[in-house]
Structure 1
Amino acid sequence: MLAGLVALVAIVALVSFDHARRFDLARDGARHSRMTLDAIQDLRAAVEAAESGERGYLLTGRDEYLASYRRALGQITAQQGHLAQLVGDVASQQQRSEALAQAVQDKLAGLARAIELRTTTPTTTREVDTDVGLVQTGRIAALLRVMLAEESARLEQGIAAADAAEASSRLWSFGGIAAALLVLGLGSWMLRRAIADLRTTQAAARALALHLQSSLDSLSQGIAVFDPDRRLVHWNDRFVQLLDLPPSLQVHGTGYLTLGHYLAGGSRPPFLETEEQIARGEAGRWQQAPAVYERTLGPRTFEIRRTPMPDGGFVVTCTDLTERVTGERALREAQKMQAIGQLTGGIAHDFNNLLTVILGNLEALQSVLGRDHPVAGRIESAVRGAERGASLTRHLLAFARRQPLEPRPLNVRRLLADMSGMLHRTLGEHIDVRMVETAGLWDVLADPAQLESAVLNLALNARDAMPTGGRLTIETANVVLDEAYACDHAEIAAGDYVMIAVSDSGTGMAPEVLERAFEPFFTTKPAGRGTGLGLSMVFGFAKQSAGHVKIFSEPGHGTSVKLYLPRVMSSAADYERPQTPVEPARSAATILVVEDDEAVRSIVVLHLRDLGHRVIEAGDAVEALALAREIDRIDLVLTDVVLPGAMRGKELVEQLTEGRPGLKALFISGYAEDAILHHGKLDEGVQLLSKPFKRDQLARKVAEILGAQPQRKGRDPADNVIPLKPGQKPKR
């Protein structure tokens, strides 16, 4: 509006100046026209005076008329020059002036001849009586009239133009004043509105500032803004909380270096960047990339980011990385344990195959040599060694979460009550065993045998930590693990759990030992006193059961291992330990044995044939299918889970049962893979015999599947041989 007002005033001023200039031009033109008219009148008067003096002299001959003539001549010359100067810028008037000058010259020449004749010849009257002078006078008069008329018209035009310019200037002046007043009024109204809008904007800005400050305060990051002089100008509450700043530093103008010195705390390394570090990063100023670094302040880890701003200041962002660092450490630990589990699982698989062969051959030797043979004791010792190896592989598979579980609803209180007597006998009298029960304890979903083994391993570890005696406490409780706990422990889901805590008053563990406690074969016991697989087995069992295990220990104050198992809503059945199995009666059955390891296959075939069964053996699934098409009757398929080629044991059984609905199957494996497991649990209806197994274990499992039949008398050894069809190759 101010710009419009200035433009209006400028326009009015320019128009007024133009009108004033036109008025001055019109006035000057009118003045020039008046001067021209006066010059014409003066010239006409001088011509008339010259003619009058000439005529008076001609008539009277008196000298005074001649003197008047001569004065008129001088005036005519001067007036002609003045008139020519005045009309020099008008072409038409200039032409008339030239014609008038010639006419006056001719007239004056005629007057001069007449005077000369009058002076010398008295007969001059004859010359005077002619009409030449009259014609010349008429011509001069006509030219003067025309010039007078044109100049009069020009004078009138100039006066009219001056009047018009004056009127237009007055009109523009009044119009400009009115417009200026209107603009001023409109500007005043707009100014009032602008002031009101400014107040509204200021209120909105204050509200926005409060919202921004509230937004800053709601962030999980600490934020501080420093001006180009490195003074604190803005910050949020989180910045103060994370760095625990005193009130003296929570003021505008606090220096960046002052803040840095406070956080360094004397002997500690710098927390914020130093003056030298900032100076080295000044090149490029705000276009440079943000400076990012990690710092430790007490027990917490922070990411500090300094981001330059265009004005030369910068923003410092402080992010608490403690939880992320802890989570990454836990993830690395989980990945390490998973890698170790995969390694141990693979080792256990091959080792179990070897142990199966060793145990099978040892049992065959025992059967042939008998118990009275001189080497029978050594064979028995070898069997015990192989069984210890089998126990180690079971622990490895438990850690690797590859052991097949048979979970069911279980009452933990009853299981621990049944174990009480065994624990007292196993741990010895120098260990005071106490049970702390919880009323209304929930039931859990777990494999009872594996849970019993886990508790026993924890109790044995506690005993070893108390060589001179102490107290062992087994406590149970209902626990609800919330989302916060699940976030801190990514391997566990939030929900209801039953906790079994095994605590001792022993030597405890150092932090570096505690970090590796679950690693297989890691032990602090003397050589020959432990395998380092007890806690590993508990760890694997807990993970495979969708549970969780945690160790709390302090050197000199004992250790507490807490095992969490998921709650189950169905009713629990009483757990009964298996009694001594009864040898099943032998019965002849046709069994297809599929095993790629030739040594293992030979042992299995040897045991089955010794038990009186007809055996067909195959090295892979393709060979097994080919043999099955040639044999009419097959009662049982005994196959390894992992077979060479694209087809696994489960797929082989599925194809065989398509044409034989009543066909039964028994899987054997060094470790069970996902083909027959679901979250570590055997699929429904799947029968599994884990390697290594002994002859009686194989016999009971086969009899259990087939159903015990009365033993036939007078068995013919030829019954073990399957008649070959034409083109079929014999198998060993």
Structure 2
Amino acid sequence: MTQYLVRRANILVLGVLVTILALVGAVTWERLNASREAREASQHSYHVLATTKDLAIALRDAERGQRGYILTGRDEYLAPYDAARDRLGLLQGELQKLTADNPAQQQRIRALAPAIQHKLEELAQTVQARRDGGLETALRIVNGDAGRAHMQNAEALLDGMLADEQRLLDERLAQNDARAAWVRWMVIAGSALAVLILLWAARLLNQAWSRSSGAEAEQRALALRLHTTLYSLSQGVAVFGPDRRLAHWNECFQVLLDLPKAMLGPGTAYGVFVKHTGEPGRAALETEDQIRHGSRNPREAVTYERERADGHHLEIRRTPMPDGGFVLTVSDMTKRAQAEGVLREAQKMQAVGQLTGGIAHDFNNLLQVILGNLEFVRAKLDGDARLQLRIERAAWAAQRGATLTGQLLAFARKQPLAPAPVDLAATMPDLIPLLRRTLGEHIEVRYVETAGLWPAMADPAQLESAVLNLALNARDAMPGGGRLTIELGNKVLDEVYARDHAEIVPGDYAMVAVSDTGHGMTPEVVARVFEPFFTTKPDGKGTGLGLAMVFGFVKQSGGHVKIYSEPGEGTTVKIYLPRAVGTVAAAGQRSAVPVELPRGSATVLVVEDEAGVREIACAILADLGYQVLDAADGEEALRVFGANASTVDLLLTDVVLPGKVRGRELAERVQALRPEVRVVFMSGYTENSIVHHGRLDDGVHLVGKPFKREQLARKVAEVLGNAGSAAPEAANVVALRPARDAAP
């Protein structure tokens, strides 16, 4: 009994001591935490004070650098100004974050931001004034006292922040000292008592608590990471339990499957989603075959694709879990499908470009020899109408070959463009009479335009050619007659439209729409109309390059082309060209009155590696009165020029020359010796020497092979400044292309 009582007493005493120690330990622990928090708060105040002082120093450094530059005008004094200006924004942002828990400081920072901004604007204004107008102009701004007021305002706010933060720091330091003293005594008393009675027990309890707390923290962190990962995915994810009911999901799951929010909730049966997505126009989650396949292979993941009514491609994957549930993953594959389409188009363009570039140079040289000699002979023949007709037919055939080569280059985006702001409202009406004559009386041509049309950035000649090609295609689609409508308008292609068309840059576009009332096209034909050599016309009635040329021209111009067509309802082709910013060039006037070719007596150096082309070019120029020198390559041209440097007025050179000296380098070396020598390039394929990003370099004059006698005569006279009716040289870039001749 006594032992029992002693044991009970010991237990009671031990219980009391344990309770006391627990209370002392708990209070001590709380004070320790409070002391640590106070130290952290003090360190935070030190950080705020340092950042505030750095901000004030940076502001003074900016003003010091500005004052130094104003007084000296030397750029090296701007180094402190530039460095401080860059740091001010960073320091303000850091100070904003550091004082997020202090409303008073936040209010001062909000008031400080415009003061600093005004001060920086005043500093930048005086620097620019010193740079543009000199010291007196800058001093007038400084003496206006506006900058001093902004500086005083900023310094007053910074002083207030420093004072407030210093007060907080003093309070926190005092609290920290008091807590530290109290904790010190509590620690001494609690530690002595704990060491005597509960050292071992406290150690075990502390270890158990640490393990439990660590495991709990790890579980919380893991759950948070999983939750964040689930909601950050661009895929739709839904987790279903063994009972096939919804457990977890993210927002993309609802968006991609277009599910109502009311349907999403813990415990929703999977069958509800299958039934909802199985409605017409929706991307069904599963078909009967997939359900049966899943039941036969419950542990195998199933992947299938669906297409929404709006054209978005979805990939759905059902992955089983060990507990009998499954994870449903929905991915939007639309961008990938578009990217694959763009890649295929780029590969096709590259192949066509390589093929076209390989044959264009030599083929156009051959056509130049044929066409040049025919025109030269035709100019010498008089009276024999039948022989003239034969020459006309041969010239037309040669010109047709040049047109086909040009269309291939256009589709491959290898043609040299000379884009300029085009006033569609001024140029398109001039084209309507030509269309009426070309299409015939059985086609009614209508023209519609919108007020306030934006100018388009495009090559005017290529734009006209594209519209003519579309009009001719429309005529062929209306063999029994019909109506052709040309409509102009302004269009804004926004981000939504650009998401569905990967090659589009959102922005302002000028639209040219060509519509017909013909037989229309099926979707299968529409998908292929821009392919080169694809045509629905009978053999011998079309090359299949007209729409390909339109497509290449529009894409090279940075635009967009879209076809709308239905069988029996007609076709509309819409061309979107980038809106031009700048002065619009005046529209040229068509004239059917023949004008005598300009002549001259200047000395022209002709450089061409193809003997036939060189011979006919020299013959044309000599016949027009020019003094002609010739060379077969760049090195020979330099030797000829060196012997006749004082007499050569113009260099007419091929772009692609054999040997080390190409056409562009030859022109640069000649003009380095005599800057007054004018240069005209001629080529059937320009490579990249005078064309970059599909556009002629500024100041470059180009005559495209095969050129006509009239084209060469007017281009040479224009560059030399002797053509009476030619455009002035300030036009910079004029690329002459083969004229469109009608078949005899």
> Normalized against structure 2, the TM-score is what?
0.62
Tell which structure's C-alpha radius of gyration is larger.
1
Checking the alignment, whether the CA contact within 8 Å between 1:257 and 1:275 is kept in structure 2 is no
Checking the alignment, whether the CA contact within 8 Å between 1:260 and 1:271 is kept in structure 2 is no
Deviation larger for 598-607 or 635-644: 598-607
* Residue number among 267, 291, 295 corresponding to 2:305 in the alignment: 295
Q: Does 1:270 align with 2:290?
A: yes
* Residue number among 628, 637, 656 corresponding to 2:670 in the alignment: 656
What is the CA–CA distance in structure 2 between the aligned matches of 1:499 and 1:353, rounded to whole Å?
37
What is the CA–CA distance in structure 2 between the aligned matches of 1:422 and 1:330, rounded to whole Å?
36
> Residue by residue, what CA displacement relative to the aligned partner does 1:464-523 show, whole Å, maximum 9, x if unpaired?
112222222222211111223233333332211111111112111111211111122221
What is the CA–CA distance in structure 1 between the aligned matches of 2:237 and 2:567, rounded to whole Å?
41
Corresponding residue for residue 602 of structure 2: 589
Checking the alignment, whether the CA contact within 8 Å between 1:405 and 1:447 is kept in structure 2 is yes
Checking the alignment, whether the CA contact within 8 Å between 2:439 and 2:475 is kept in structure 1 is yes
Q: Does 1:635 align with 2:649?
A: yes
Checking the alignment, whether the CA contact within 8 Å between 1:234 and 1:252 is kept in structure 2 is no
- How many pairs are equivalent? 532
* Residue number among 602, 608, 625 corresponding to 2:621 in the alignment: 608
* Residue number among 3, 7, 15 corresponding to 1:180 in the alignment: 15
Measured after TM superposition, the shift of residue 215 of structure 1 is 7.7
| Cα gap change, 1:207 to 1:368, in 2 (>3 Å) | closer
> Residue by residue, what CA displacement relative to the aligned partner does 1:318-360 show, whole Å, maximum 9, x if unpaired?
1121343234224423442453344334433332111101112
Amino acid at match of 2:556: Q
Checking the alignment, whether the CA contact within 8 Å between 1:271 and 1:297 is kept in structure 2 is no
What is the CA–CA distance in structure 1 between the aligned matches of 2:660 and 2:317, rounded to whole Å?
54
Secondary structure in 2 matching 1:274: helix
Amino acid at match of 2:604: I
What is the CA–CA distance in structure 2 between the aligned matches of 1:187 and 1:531, rounded to whole Å?
97
Amino acid at match of 1:317: T
Amino acid at match of 1:434: R
Checking the alignment, whether the CA contact within 8 Å between 1:232 and 1:256 is kept in structure 2 is no
Matches within 5 A, 1:224-239: 224-227=238-241, 232-239=246-253
Secondary structure in 1 matching 2:290: coil
Checking the alignment, whether the CA contact within 8 Å between 1:638 and 1:667 is kept in structure 2 is yes
Q: Does 1:386 align with 2:392?
A: no
Secondary structure in 2 matching 1:654: helix
| Cα gap change, 1:217 to 1:470, in 2 (>3 Å) | farther
Measured after TM superposition, the shift of residue 653 of structure 1 is 0.5
* Residue number among 475, 493, 518 corresponding to 1:481 in the alignment: 493
What is the CA–CA distance in structure 1 between the aligned matches of 2:489 and 2:386, rounded to whole Å?
55
Q: Does 1:620 align with 2:455?
A: no
Secondary structure in 1 matching 2:614: helix
| Cα gap change, 1:243 to 1:481, in 2 (>3 Å) | closer
> Residue by residue, what CA displacement relative to the aligned partner does 1:432-478 show, whole Å, maximum 9, x if unpaired?
32222211112222333322222222122112112222222222211
Corresponding residue for residue 562 of structure 2: 550
Checking the alignment, whether the CA contact within 8 Å between 2:597 and 2:710 is kept in structure 1 is no
What is the CA–CA distance in structure 2 between the aligned matches of 1:258 and 1:325, rounded to whole Å?
26
* Residue number among 329, 340, 343 corresponding to 2:341 in the alignment: 329
> Residue by residue, what CA displacement relative to the aligned partner does 1:503-562 show, whole Å, maximum 9, x if unpaired?
112111111211111122221112233222222222222223222211111112111111
Amino acid at match of 2:567: P
What is the CA–CA distance in structure 1 between the aligned matches of 2:631 and 2:275, rounded to whole Å?
76
Amino acid at match of 1:295: E
Q: Does 1:357 align with 2:375?
A: no
Matches within 5 A, 1:323-472: 323-366=335-378, 370-372=382-384, 375-472=387-484
Measured after TM superposition, the shift of residue 665 of structure 1 is 0.9
> Residue by residue, what CA displacement relative to the aligned partner does 1:683-714 show, whole Å, maximum 9, x if unpaired?
2322111100122322232233234499xxxx
How much is the aligned-residue C-alpha RMSD, in angstroms? 4.3
Corresponding residue for residue 584 of structure 2: 572
Corresponding residue for residue 666 of structure 1: 680
Secondary structure in 1 matching 2:616: helix
What is the CA–CA distance in structure 1 between the aligned matches of 2:381 and 2:435, rounded to whole Å?
39
Secondary structure in 2 matching 1:498: strand
Give percent identity, aligned residues only.
56
| Cα gap change, 1:309 to 1:658, in 2 (>3 Å) | same
What is the CA–CA distance in structure 2 between the aligned matches of 1:363 and 1:535, rounded to whole Å?
30
Amino acid at match of 2:256: L
What is the CA–CA distance in structure 2 between the aligned matches of 1:590 and 1:677, rounded to whole Å?
27
Secondary structure in 2 matching 1:328: helix
Checking the alignment, whether the CA contact within 8 Å between 2:342 and 2:503 is kept in structure 1 is no
Measured after TM superposition, the shift of residue 622 of structure 1 is 2.5
Deviation larger for 176-185 or 524-533: 176-185
What is the CA–CA distance in structure 2 between the aligned matches of 1:477 and 1:709, rounded to whole Å?
37
Checking the alignment, whether the CA contact within 8 Å between 1:432 and 1:470 is kept in structure 2 is yes
Deviation larger for 425-434 or 207-216: 207-216
Measured after TM superposition, the shift of residue 185 of structure 1 is 7.0
Corresponding residue for residue 9 of structure 1: none
Measured after TM superposition, the shift of residue 584 of structure 1 is 4.0
Deviation larger for 234-243 or 320-329: 234-243
Checking the alignment, whether the CA contact within 8 Å between 1:583 and 1:696 is kept in structure 2 is no
Corresponding residue for residue 514 of structure 1: 526
What is the CA–CA distance in structure 1 between the aligned matches of 2:494 and 2:232, rounded to whole Å?
24
Checking the alignment, whether the CA contact within 8 Å between 1:260 and 1:270 is kept in structure 2 is no
What is the CA–CA distance in structure 1 between the aligned matches of 2:579 and 2:307, rounded to whole Å?
41
Checking the alignment, whether the CA contact within 8 Å between 2:245 and 2:266 is kept in structure 1 is no
Secondary structure in 1 matching 2:18: helix
Matches within 5 A, 1:18-417: 174-183=9-18, 216=230, 219-227=233-241, 232-243=246-257, 252=267, 254=269, 269-270=289-290, 274-279=294-299, 281=300, 293-297=303-307, 300-305=312-317, 315-366=327-378, 370-372=382-384, 375-417=387-429
Measured after TM superposition, the shift of residue 640 of structure 1 is 0.9
